[in-house]
Amino acid sequence: MNPAAILGKLPMRAGVTLRFRIPVSVVPAGATGVLVFAWAGITGDNPGGASFWHLSVTIPGGGENFFSLLAKAASGSAGANSQAFWLPMPSDAMIQATLLGADLPDPDNDGEVEIHGYLPA
């Protein structure tokens, strides 16, 4: 796997949006779609309820396409989730990830956004 395909960490604070550029070394110019993979491992002290990430791309005309990744683990327990989803290649080559619901404050929580494939032109 190309290390550049790992775009970055998921946000763990509710309402925070992180933007990730899709490198041309991973998805060449002219691609029509991307296979976005996101994973999360939740453990430790997370006092809130359920949380989910909204992973989106902007499409021509100003709309967006997205998928969601749910995370819930009671305090003191652990949980994990992952999902891969085909999204259209955004014209700005950016993917957004926003955490909605409860904060996930435990420092042992982790999660990433990755590119696992693309559709050629």
Got the DSSP string for 46-111?
Answer: --S--EEEEEEEE-TTS-EEEEEEEE---TTEEEEEEEEEEEEPPTT-EEEEEEEES----TT-EE
Q: Give the predicted TM-score (pTM) of the model.
A: 0.93
Give, for all 121 residues of the chain, the pLDDT tens digit: 799 999 999 999 999 999 999 999 999 999 999 999 999 999 877 777 789 999 999 998 889 999 999 988 677 778 899 999 999 999 899 999 999 999 998 899 999 999 999 999 8
Domain boundaries, the chain: 3-119
- CATH number for 3-119 (one of 2.60.40, 3.40.50, 2.60.120, 3.30.499): it is 2.60.120
Cα separations (Å) of 93 from 86, 89, 98? 14, 7, 17
Amino acid at 94: M
